[in-house]
Amino acid sequence: MTASAASGRGADPRRDGYEPDPHRWRALWVTLVAGFMSLLDVTIVAVALPTVQRDLHASPAQVQWVVSGYALTFALALVTAGRLGDALDRRRIFLLALGGFVIFSAACGAAPDITLLVAARLAQGLAAGFMAPQNSALIQQMFRGAERGRAFGFFGTTVGVSSAAGPLTGGAVLALASGDQGWRWIFYVNVPIGILAVLLGRRLLPRTRRSGRGRVDVPGVLLLGLGVLALMYPLVQADSGGLGGLWWLFPVGGAVLAVFTWWQRRLVARGRQPLLDPRLFTTVRGYAVGAGVGTLYFIGFSGVWLVFALFYQHGLGYSPLRSGLAVTPFALGSAGAAVVAGRLVDRFGRLLTVCGLTAVIAGLGGTALLLRFAPLTTAWWVAAPVLFLGGIGSGFVVSPNITMTLRDVPVRMAGAAGGALQTGQRLGAAVGTAALPGLFYLVLGNGGDYRAALVTALGAALVGMAASLALATFDRQRDRHTRSRHRTCPDEVANDPVHTRQT
């Protein structure tokens, strides 16, 4: 079966025994709300860090762990959590993780000192990491064919908008909850929404059919966890000199991940179930390229919001709310485009990603130039139209790329595949959030002004996005070459394992 057939175009979704769940669309919204909360918490806290530091009498290094600690444990849990959902019950893992997220959110809000706040954030990130891969896996389980593309469109909207909306949401909460204790409501707001999601999830989410593959690869869990930790720890410690003092962890992490890859291949060769099946990257059409496109894109995408916050709040003296409003056009463009892209991905495929990346590069590049040369009194609204263009482009990147990366993944591997994809995105986000603000401060400290620092940091973000565009363009050209081969020699292409869905 060819890739186009595998994705559901022109195929009967019931052919593999699939029966549509009557509650599937309502169940999807439950998972998306929970996913939105968990991803929003990556960036929403950033605008409140100065208030947290003053209220809890914390050092800059301590308060940075409120953000970076969450991102670290989030990334560490993803692949293992996805594999557990595949082996056991995605519904149960999702509901337990969501319940834990609610409890630890309340603990964050009630924390009396910085030590307990950081501990609660580490636990909250772990719960979010266990919840996140179940979202994409449940979409694989509940939907087929064109419906799956629409569902992933909504999922992509959630991923893109939650990251972009963090500064605005955090600023709005701080504006409504006045006083030094107002930052606590950034965490408390998760509690009623999370409780409602748990109650609805118990009623609507489908159970996973046990496949008999309940054994978890413990050595693989340890190796992957150590490898990801070694790569991320210097990044989350970047503000405390981690990149200079802990650089040696990068080659250590690479070596551990190489051993992890060898171990996974060894398990497959022996007919045993690995934590992350290497065949995802070699035989499932679009997975390896999609993971690479997403990782490279998130290097630039995630870091620009901190750079904008620094420029508007410190450079122009904006309040957190006004700073968030200044980047709202991007979030609005991304939200609308992602929903539309979910309906178009089956028709246009990788072309959507190529066009989207081109628009993001044009939008952010144009924003950088306008903020560099336009009068500061009118800079935010002068930049709004091109920032909106960048948001539209982002909506055509995140949503279609997630769909094309995961749509041909077998349902039995959906959790681990979604976890690995998001791990790459979290690693990319960690690189971006460490490198771009660091570059911003470097230019500022060497005699540059805020405008020069902004342009330099955004220029670095565009390098990552340009690399993502190059990879997406290569994949599109390969697809066109494959279609040409199919017209001249259909039997040869039909037997090519790279273009065959793994079942």
Q: Is 482 exposed, middle or buried (0-12, 13-18, 19+ CB in 10 A)?
A: middle
| Three-state SS at 88 | coil
Least confident window among 81-85, 331-335, 485-489? 485-489
What is the residue-averaged pLDDT of the chain? 82
pLDDT top residue among 127 and 414: 127
Distance CA 42, CA 69 (A): 10
pLDDT top residue among 259 and 284: 259
Does position 46 have pLDDT exceeding 90, yes or no? no
pLDDT top residue among 37 and 336: 37
Distance CA 128, CA 94 (A): 9
User: Residue 319's CB: how many other CB atoms inside 10 A?
Assistant: 14
For 329-346, give one letter per residue: b (16+ CB within 10 A) or e. bbbbbbbbbbebbbebbb
pTM: 0.77
pLDDT at residue 471 in the model = 92
If phi > 0 it is left, if psi is from -120 to 50 it is alpha, else beta; for residue 374 that is beta
pLDDT top residue among 148 and 98: 98
Distance CA 326, CA 445 (A): 25
Does position 449 have pLDDT exceeding 90, yes or no? no
What CATH number does the domain located at 3-8+18-216+275-499 have?
Answer: 1.20.1250.20
Band the pLDDT of 210: cuts 50, 70, 90: low
Torsion angle of the four alpha carbons 153, 158, 161, 162, in this order, in degrees rounded to the nearest 10: -160
Does position 110 have pLDDT exceeding 90, yes or no? yes
Per domain, the residue ranges of the chain are 3-8+18-216+275-499, 217-274
| Three-state SS at 271 | coil
Band the pLDDT of 87: cuts 50, 70, 90: confident
pLDDT at residue 12 in the model = 46
